[in-house]
């Protein structure tokens, strides 16, 4: 039965206004409420929570209750359609939906119990307090049976003395009831992607709700595995058409009986937007495949390593690119994908790490000169020698100074001017320069990039053995990611 409908049509005046408000979603500052509100909006076929009409809100709430009843009637989480019931354990533990005693109860008793649990308290029994999330009139106090993490330390401050839960209005409460539809359900902790970019939320949540509804219809969990929780964020970015206005948060949580857990990781907007563009824009796509190879290990797809680095620190992405691009220099070999990846690496330093364009240009100019010198020498041994100095700034400095003198004394005209100017030396070695270590790494990247352009193939390089082809085997997950296949 639909209380709010009855009251809005029967009553006039203040109470009708209040009741109308109790059927209108608003977005609060609580990430999980926001995820649930979007899920409810899509269940009601609206474009966003604000666009969900009270009528559509009631329909969506009814659909959520119907799914809960159907799941409860399964009684056994291992049953044919036990998926939704099992999921409920980590959102609404010990609720009427999944109570152990349900095994012995009749269908009617269970159905009534679930509906009663999900029915909004009558106006006369509602407390005269505001919803802690949106400030509108609360309909009651709700604890962990209704709201994931309601009693965890995170929200304890919002619980009034003497009450073991949060004061919530009906739309905010129903957002939590719809939360499972907006999460990636794993059987263990649930994963929610959140952002303050509303378009990203809409796009990502509509896909997730659709997927979960299919799972509910089929009665089983998503057969596509999750290799790593962080990868979900990369997948969502891969499918997002618009420029991101905010970063992306990954919330991994469980509300089950064994204890409440919440783990939050955040990816800053610049790196999220760089990843999105790099995975989508055609000129950057080739470099992106190389970026994944740079992050892959024998037993882990590159997309996992990349996603983790993106959440931890973009500097690690630059580090992985540098290591990959230089990994064959000891054999005098430059990788075929050097040009694409080096370009992507430079875009990272400018767009994400906020390096000054002039400084990057200086370092690339120095790299060009060093590459010209190495090309003239035509020696894999010399390239190896230079690369080895990266580990010791002093040695690199000495090596460059030495080559500077050689170049200045060179009368053959192979090199024009000094290898490294005073300004460039300062950028690379001055202790006052904040990112000197990164500049040194970028110097090597620019050297290999230029050598690649110059088709550097010294006589004394190693033969390209077939073992190298094996080394390059790509993980199927990475290939799918670049193609934009569904997770
Ligand atoms: Zn509220």
> What integer is the mean pLDDT of 270-294?
94
In Å, how far are 217, 283, 375 from 279, measured between CA atoms? 32, 10, 33
pLDDT of 465 > 60? The answer is: no
Ligand 1 centroid, distance to 267 Cα (angstroms): 28
Ligand 1 centroid, distance to 134 Cα (angstroms): 4
Ligand 1 centroid, distance to 110 Cα (angstroms): 28
Ligand 1 centroid, distance to 367 Cα (angstroms): 58
pLDDT of 12 > 70? The answer is: no
Enumerate residues 6+ apart whose C-beta is below 8 A from 24: 52, 54, 57, 171
**Model confidence pLDDT, tens digit, residues 298-341:** 899 999 999 999 999 999 999 999 999 999 888 888 999 999 99
pLDDT at res. 14: 56
Closest CA to 442 of 383, 368, 384: 368
Ligand 1 centroid, distance to 24 Cα (angstroms): 9
Closest CA to 461 of 288, 335, 283, 331: 331
Ligand 1 centroid, distance to 178 Cα (angstroms): 14
pLDDT at res. 11: 45
Ligand 1 centroid, distance to 122 Cα (angstroms): 16
Ligand 1 centroid, distance to 28 Cα (angstroms): 7
Ligand 1 centroid, distance to 196 Cα (angstroms): 18
pLDDT of 487 > 60? The answer is: no
Ligand 1 centroid, distance to 444 Cα (angstroms): 55
DSSP 8-class letter at 462 = P
Ligand 1 centroid, distance to 162 Cα (angstroms): 20
Determine contact, residues 72/92, Cβ cutoff 8 Å.
no
pLDDT at res. 427: 96
Ligand 1 centroid, distance to 259 Cα (angstroms): 26
pLDDT at res. 329: 87
Closest CA to 191 of 311, 27, 13, 52: 311
Ligand 1 centroid, distance to 26 Cα (angstroms): 7
Q: What percent of the chain shows pLDDT beyond 90?
A: 66
Three-class SS state of 94: coil
DSSP string, 120-189: PPPGGGS-SSB-TTT-SB--EEE-TTTSTTTTSHHHHTTSPTT-SSEEE-HHHHHHHHHGGGGSB--SSS
Lookup: tokens for 94: 């010990």
Order the strands of the 248-254 sheet from edge to edge: 190-195, 248-254, 261-267
**Model confidence pLDDT, tens digit, residues 399-453:** 999 988 887 787 776 777 788 999 999 999 999 998 899 999 999 999 999 999 9
Dihedral over Cα of 377, 379, 382, 387: its sign: positive
Phi then psi for residue 192, to 5 deg, are -120, 135
Ligand 1 centroid, distance to 231 Cα (angstroms): 32
Determine contact, residues 191/236, Cβ cutoff 8 Å.
no
> Tokens 């620190």 identify what position?
313
Ligand 1 centroid, distance to 25 Cα (angstroms): 8
Q: How far apart are CA 85 and CA 92, in angstroms?
A: 10
Q: How far apart are CA 386 and CA 383, in angstroms?
A: 5
- pTM for this prediction: 0.88
pLDDT at res. 2: 46
Ligand 1 centroid, distance to 138 Cα (angstroms): 7
Ligand 1 centroid, distance to 139 Cα (angstroms): 9
The model's confidence at residue 461, banded by pLDDT at 50, 70 and 90, is: confident
Report the run of H or E that residue 251 belongs to, with start and end: strand 248-254
Q: What is the separation, in whole angstroms, between the first and last Cα of the chain?
A: 39
Exposure string of 358-395, with b = 16+ CB inside 10 Å and e = fewer, is: ebbebbbebbbbbbbbbbbeebbebbeebbebbeeeee
**Model confidence pLDDT, tens digit, residues 39-68:** 999 999 999 999 999 999 999 999 999 999
Ligand 1 centroid, distance to 171 Cα (angstroms): 6
Ligand 1 centroid, distance to 84 Cα (angstroms): 26
Closest CA to 177 of 252, 84, 261: 84
Ligand 1 centroid, distance to 184 Cα (angstroms): 24
Ligand 1 centroid, distance to 173 Cα (angstroms): 7
Report the run of H or E that residue 233 belongs to, with start and end: helix 229-238
Q: How far apart are CA 475 and CA 478, in angstroms?
A: 5
Three-class SS state of 92: coil
- Length of the chain equals 487
Ligand 1 centroid, distance to 32 Cα (angstroms): 13
Ligand 1 centroid, distance to 170 Cα (angstroms): 7
Ligand 1 centroid, distance to 172 Cα (angstroms): 4
Output the average pLDDT for the chain.
Answer: 88
How many Cβ atoms from other residues are within 10 Å of residue 299's Cβ? 6
pLDDT at res. 470: 52
**Model confidence pLDDT, tens digit, residues 335-367:** 999 999 999 999 999 999 999 999 999 999 999
Ligand 1 centroid, distance to 44 Cα (angstroms): 18
Ligand 1 centroid, distance to 120 Cα (angstroms): 13
pLDDT at res. 331: 83
> What integer is the mean pLDDT of 85-109?
93
């Amino acid at each position: 039965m639909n209380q709010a409908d009855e009251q809005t049509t029967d009553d006039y005046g203040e109470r009708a206004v209040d009741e109308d408000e109790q059927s209108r979603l608003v977005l609060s500052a609580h990430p999980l409420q926001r995820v649930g509100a979007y899920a409810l909006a899509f269940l009601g076929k609206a474009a966003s929570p604000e666009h969900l009409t009270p009528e559509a809100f009631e329909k969506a709430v009814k659909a959520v209750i119907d799914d809960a009843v159907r799941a409860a009637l399964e009684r056994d989480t291992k049953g044919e359609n036990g998926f939704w019931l099992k999921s409920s354990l980590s959102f609404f533990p010990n609720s009427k939906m999944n109570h152990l005693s349900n095994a012995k109860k009749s269908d009617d008793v269970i159905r009534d119990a679930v509906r009663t649990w999900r029915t909004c308290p009558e106006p006369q029994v509602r407390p005269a307090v505001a919803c802690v999330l949106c400030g509108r009139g609360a309909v009651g106090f709700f604890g962990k049976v209704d709201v994931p993490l309601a009693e965890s330390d995170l929200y304890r401050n919002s619980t009034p003395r003497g009450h073991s839960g949060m004061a919530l209005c009906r739309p905010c409460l129903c957002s939590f009831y719809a939360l499972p539809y907006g999460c990636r359900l794993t059987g263990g902790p649930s994963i929610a992607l959140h952002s303050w970019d509303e378009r990203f939320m809409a796009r990502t949540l509509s896909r997730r709700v659709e997927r979960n509804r299919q799972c509910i219809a089929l009665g089983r969990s998503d057969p596509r595995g999750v290799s790593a929780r962080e990868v979900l964020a990369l997948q969502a970015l891969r499918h997002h058409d618009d420029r991101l206005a905010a970063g992306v948060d990954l919330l991994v949580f469980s509300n089950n009986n064994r204890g409440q857990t919440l783990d939050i990781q955040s990816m800053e907007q610049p790196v999220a937007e760089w990843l999105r563009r790099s995975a989508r824009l055609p000129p950057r796509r080739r470099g992106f495949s190389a970026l994944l190879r740079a992050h892959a290990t024998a037993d882990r797809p590159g997309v996992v390593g990349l996603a983790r680095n993106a959440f931890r620190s973009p500097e690690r992405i630059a580090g992985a690119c540098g290591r990959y691009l230089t990994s064959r220099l000891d054999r005098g070999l430059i990788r075929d994908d050097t040009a694409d990846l080096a370009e992507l690496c430079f875009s990272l330093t400018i767009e994400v790490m906020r390096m000054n364009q002039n400084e990057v240009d200086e370092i690339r100019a120095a790299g060009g000169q060093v590459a010209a010198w190495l090309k003239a020498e035509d020696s894999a041994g010399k390239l190896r020698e230079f690369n080895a100095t990266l580990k010791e700034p002093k040695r690199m400095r000495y090596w460059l100074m030495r080559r500077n003198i050689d170049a200045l004394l060179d009368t053959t005209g192979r090199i024009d001017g000094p290898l490294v100017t005073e300004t460039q030396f300062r950028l690379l070695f001055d202790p006052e320069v904040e990112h000197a270590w990164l500049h040194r790494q970028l110097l090597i990247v620019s050297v290999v990039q230029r050598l690649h352009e110059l088709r550097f193939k010294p006589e004394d390089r190693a033969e390209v053995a077939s073992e190298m082809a094996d080394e390059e085997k790509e993980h199927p997950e990475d290939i799918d990611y670049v193609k934009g296949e569904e997770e």
